[in-house]
Structure 1
Amino acid sequence: MLQKIRDHASGWFAYIIFGMLIIPFGLWGIDHYIHQGSGVYAAQVNGDEISLRDFQNSLQQQRSFLLNLNKEVDDASLKLKTMEQLINERLLRQYSKKENIFVTDEQLLNRIKSIDAFRSDNGNFDVHLFDLALQRQGYTQSYFMEMLKKSLPVEQFANAFDATALFTREDLGGAVRLLAQKRSVEIFNFLHSPVFNLQHANDADLNVFFEKNKSRFNNPEMVKIDYINLDLNALLDKQSVSEQELLDAYKQQLSIIGTPEQRVASYILVRVPENANENELKKAEQQATALYERLKSGKSSFDKLGDELQHSADKTIEFGTLESLRPGVMEPAFDQALFSLAKVGDISAPVHTSFGFQLIKLDKIYPKVIPDFENVRSTLEKQLAYQKAETQFFDVTDRLATLVFENPDDLDAVATKIGVPIEHSDWFSINGNNGGVFSNQKVINAAFSDDVLLNGKNSEPIQIGDRHVLVLRVVNHKKQTPKTFDEARLELISSVKNEMAKNYLKKEAGNLEKMLFDGEDVTSIIEAYGKTVEHQRLDEIARNFTGLDNSIVESIFKMPVSNEKNVAIKSIELANGNWVVIKLLKVTNGNAENLSANDRKAWTDTLTKQISDVQMTGFINELRGAAKIINNIDRL
């Protein structure tokens, strides 16, 4: 198995590395990642420390990744998952070292070349893009390669489990039968809104409800905070770029701005068979050389010879023209030969490529176009201002995490040391809808957390947007207070009417269930209920059907199968107050025999991966069971 692990150094980690290159490495900075600092650690695995800054880096990277996907971030859950991931990776790395599982330089190089961030538009690895991406992240080549080399063994395990996971034909049949099942249903949707609008609540109703539910009507808990607000967009306005900086940037980027030189070329190709032997290669080379000598002698022009060969009986020879070729577009041998030709009309000696032996004639040169400095001034100025603001932002946020950790009770000290002002909020509530950053759920969660509100601590840095970080401290607090009847009146009216509508709809849904069980005509049922009920029949819907509320689809596929003695009918209440009655009409099981080859492979790959993940988790749990782990997550 170990050799199989070694042989499969490819897969999900390239995605992680790509993410690291397109998402900032973290608010805490690469320098802190390399130079570890005070000796405080987040966890210890068999005596091997996971530093606080390793944890902070990983946590912030995952926060940024989720935010870029427009996902809600639960900080408490994310902390736990990040710590578990770091511990698991450290265990796998330790096991790799113990079992002498390693990554060769060739595997490492191939991995780097496979990362999309380092590929040009034509899909080839681009050294310039590689260097530029590392520079932007503050990496040296040696550090990046060492980091990747240490991480790749972890990925080898996942690939090894993928390669050995077993999923039989019978397993596939059973899974498809259930998971690809389709169901036909009738749905009756009792609408909450029109029923709600018909309800009337008098003062007696309101008073009764208020007395029974006083705890529901309160003035919300509120706070005022002081906060440090770091926003890259705000920093942009404060950046200045000198004329010399613009000129220097222009000179540095001459190689990448503008349009590169392009060439038009004709070619005569003597093809060789796939997997050609030595004699076949020699024969093709001799044929190409003879054609080259004929051209050199002046007995024929390139175009005339090419046209003659194209219409000859010898179908191993091809003549054609290639337009707008930039450096790096063609394979290296062809590329080097074409761009070595000095002037239009020059012809190359036979060039051995993957297609055969080619003669290349330079037909036209489109020189590189470099835009005038004034035409790119505005773009360069914006780029440099952004780079300066970004550098300043990451420098400040890098120090911010450490300073907050070192000064948990003093926001003034943190603000002074990083040179930013403290801002002050008005009252805002735990219920949200406060406007600006104070409506951000992560800000609300932090302000009303026990550590900040009750213990008087500074919050951790909160990422509330891309390159926007906030640290807060509560300076004033109002506890929740009960509302009087008059203060709660509008809420009471809505609550009572809602309760009336809910009771009515629940009762009517029950009545409809009975009608359907008794076999009453659907058309007459719909006419009786009028506009308060929407009816639809859906045939052969799958589990991933998006035309209904998720809770309805979930309920449909949890219903028992109907038969002559047992008609499957169910009613549920939706989050919007509607009540839905579902009648199951038909169940059609999935059939693996009907899958196309591509679908069969997709199903098998997905289900095999699920088995592999379970096995990988089991393996990691074994390592955890035998390891000595100190986890300080509760102190972070």
Structure 2
Amino acid sequence: MLEAIRNRAQGIFAWVIVGLIAIPFTLWGINNYMLDGGEALAASVNGEEISTREFRSAFLSYTQQLRFLMGASFPEEMLDDPATKQNVIEGLVEQRLVLDTAAKLGLGMSDSSLSQVIRSNKAFQGESGQFDSQRYEAVLGSQGLTPVAYEARLRSALLSEQLVSTLRLSAFTTQQEVEAIARLQQQKREIGYSIVPSATFRDVIEVSADKVRQYYDDHPEEFRIPEQVKVHYLRLTADSLATDIPLDEQTLRDFYEESEDQYRVPERRRASHILITVPPQGDEATRQQAQEKAEAVFERLQQGEDFEEVAKEVSDDPGSAQKGGDLGFFGRGVMDPAFEEAVFSLEETGALSEPVLSKFGYHIIKLTDIEAGEVKPFEAVSEELAQRYRRQIAEEQFYEQAEILDNLTYENPFTLEVAAETLGLSIETSEPFSQNGGSGIAANPKVVAAAFSEEVLREEMNSQTIELAPNDVVVVRLDKHLLADTKPFEEVREEIEEKLTLDQAMAQAQERGETLVAHLQQGESPETVFKEGGEAVWNEKKLYARDDQEIPSEVLKMAYELPHPESPENPVFAGQPLGSGDYAVVGLYRVENGNPGKLDEKARRSLAQEMEKAHGEMVYRDFIQELKSKADIKIYTENL
């Protein structure tokens, strides 16, 4: 199996499908191998260690990405969730196994291929869209990486992805499987249902003070506050410096003259063309035939035939032919060089070019409009100029002041006040945060690591200067060290009372629902069981597809998991608690399978691709399980 993988994993397809590698993945997904000795272990894979530092970095990055995606809905309890920690460490173990396998298979990547991936990453490109080496180093520096370290990690990530992609692309599906899945996907089910609302029972529930206190005493882990710190900090940014830079009109006009070329709008031209293609593998005779056809078309135009009509009739460019050959406006550097030279050599609108040969074939070009180049006037760009000027000066000042900040906080390790007074900065204070991070600057893993370091936490010294982003640095020192504790009873009393009330309401809704289901299963009709005016209303049976929005999704999912009824006269009834705390009673009357014959070719192809993707994921998971079964893996849960 491994030999087959190796044979298929050659070539450039791996990093083509990787595309633009996301920086966060390469920063934590492929781990840090340059670690100090003596650290506690999170896991080991075939004797190769995964340190707790690697795990914390991976866990922090994972939860921060979720926090960014979920915003205010991010569940803070996830930071202490053992299952989340287990998922992260399992991911690190899998990555190590895949990397080891890639190395054994001899998979490799040339320097030129690695360079191509880096240069295509938009994060490293300047405003011109070209790779910018200074930006490259600045972005890496903001993540605490050198180019050498980043490139080593990226190479590992690409090799890993090369193997993983090969596995996933090895799957295939048959026509019979597609039709079987189509029957299931397009299946409809006749469903009747009712919801027993838990809210109905809330008003009659009373929770005693003793029960609230007892719950608090019996579940201390639910109210545990992890070890936290608050830090004072000085933050220096180029943006903050820019707001204080004075600027008068003469300075701004001088800056405008220096940077006038940046505000020059280049000439653009609009053209239409008729393309007579020349196949890339065509011989000289084929090319000659295309040229003769192009010359005949050019002669027709010279004799007065309408360009748009001729383009619609003979042009081989499907994108423009139906528009009479119109290509719209474009500037230099966009089109094929030979084509572009011909367009910009035409002197007036309406002019035609003789047949021009490009890599696509022969073009007859008509110039239809010209937008002359111009320089934007000072008044039109003054605001942008002011921003650019202040940003430029601020960046020059930033490096000088950042060095002063670094020196003063190092020379005065037990205070931030000297640096604050010298640089005119305000000492700010964070909200409490744990080793899993927090908000503001505490969302940055480097700040969290510094705050809980021996230097800051135990010795109460200033941290080293931490680069949060390009032109954005911070120095932190301890304000308060908050040991792990339990929230006081009075602070959580109402929360516990609400939880116990909900639990009892849910239990009573479930008890009521189970009674209703029992009556239905004994043969009583829904009309009898769900009497008008009761706490639950029966929704009459109706056909629902898998993705139907007219029925609660949990009810629909439940109905699609029920066994087929013997007949519509003998429906299957069942009940289930819902995530809301309510209770669902469901009846399934009949099942109507989909018809694969109604799938058009596009839908059939799309379904086959979905199935191949799912099969590929199964192949990958099976491969990982095979590696795990043969590996010596130890996970130190107590250190996570």
Separation (CA, whole Å) in 2 of partners of 1:428 and 1:216:
26
Structure 1 residue ranges without an equivalent (≥5): 120-125, 295-299, 401-410, 430-435
Q: 1:60 to 1:501 in 2, by over 3 A?
A: closer
Do 2:431 and 2:439's aligned partners in 1 also have CA atoms closer than 8 Å? no
Structure 1 pair 561/598, CA: closer, same or farther in 2 (3 Å)?
Answer: same
Do the aligned partners of residues 214 and 322 (structure 1) sit closer, same or farther apart at CA in structure 2, a change above 3 Å counting? closer
Distance across 2 between alignment mates of 1:67 and 1:211 = 33
- Residue 250 to residue 350, structure 1, CA distance change in 2 (3 Å): farther
Corresponding residue number in structure 2 for 1:95: 104
CA distance in structure 2 between the partners assigned to 1:283 and 1:364 by the alignment: 31
What is the correspondence of 1:168-567 to structure 2 with a 5 Å cutoff? 168-178=174-184, 181-197=187-203, 199=204, 201=206, 206=208, 209=211, 213=215, 215=217, 225-227=229-231, 236-240=239-243, 259-267=265-273, 269=275, 277-286=283-292, 288=294, 305-307=304-306, 320=325, 322-341=327-346, 348-353=353-358, 356-379=361-384, 382=387, 437=439, 475-476=481-482, 479-480=485-486, 483=489, 498=502, 501-502=505-506, 504-523=508-527, 525-530=529-534, 532-537=535-540, 539-544=542-547, 551-563=554-566, 567=571
RMSD: 6.3
Secondary structure of 2:173's aligned partner: coil
Change in CA separation of 1:524 and 1:543 when aligned onto 2, cut-off 3 Å: same
Instruction: Determine the structure 2 residue equivalent to 1:129.
Output: 129
Q: 2: CA distance between counterparts of 1:309 and 1:504? A: 76
| Corresponding residue of 1:5 | 9
Q: Which amino acid aligns with 1:359?
A: I
In the TM superposition, residue 185 of structure 1 has moved relative to its aligned partner by 1.8
- Percent identity for Structure 1 against Structure 2: 21
Question: Does 1:578 find its partner at 2:582?
Answer: yes
Q: Identify the range of structure 1 (156-165 vs 489-498) with the bigger mean alpha-carbon deviation.
A: 489-498
Partner of 2:615: 611
Could you tell me how far apart the structure 1 residues matched to 2:259 and 2:48 are? 44
* Kept in 1: contact 2:193–2:539 (CA 8 A): yes
Residue ranges of structure 2 left out of the alignment (5+ in a row) = 141-146, 407-412
State the partner residue of 2:144: none
Matched, 1:164 2:166: no
Letter aligned with residue 174 of structure 2: T
Task: Kindly state the Cα deviation for residue 563 of structure 1 after the two structures are TM-superposed.
Answer: 2.6
Are 2:600 and 1:600 aligned?
Answer: no
Conserved 8 A contact 2:308-2:325: no
1:437 positional shift: 4.5
**How far apart are the structure 2 equivalents of 1:631 and 1:611?**
29
**CA contact 1:261–1:369 (8 Å) conserved in 2:** yes
In structure 2, do the counterparts of structure 1 residues 594 and 504 end up closer, same or farther at CA, with 3 Å as the change threshold? same
CA contact (8 A) 1:10 1:156 kept: yes
Q: Deviations over 1:304-350 (max 9, x none)?
A: 54538967999579975544223344444322332344666765453
- SS of the counterpart of 1:512? helix
1:220/1:108 CA distance change after superposition, 3 Å: closer
Q: Deviations over 1:335-384 (max 9, x none)?
A: 23323446667654531136642233445421234433453343455578
Instruction: Sort the Cα spacing of 1:555 and 1:507 in 2 relative to 1 into closer, same or farther, 3 A.
Output: same
1:122 maps to which residue?
Answer: none
Q: How many residues align?
A: 577
Query: Aligned letter for 1:307?
Result: D
Deviation, 1:524, is: 5.2
Change (3 A) 1:136 1:617: same
| Closer/same/farther in 2, CA of residues 498 and 598 from structure 1, 3 Å limit | same
Whichever residue aligns with residue 338 of structure 1, its letter is V
Q: Which amino acid aligns with 2:230?
A: D
SS of the residue 1:6 aligns to? coil
Aligned with 1:587: secondary structure? strand
Cα contact 2:571–2:590 (8 A) shared by 1:
no
Distance 2:7 2:136 in 1: 37
Q: How far apart are the structure 2 equivalents of 1:224 and 1:145? A: 35
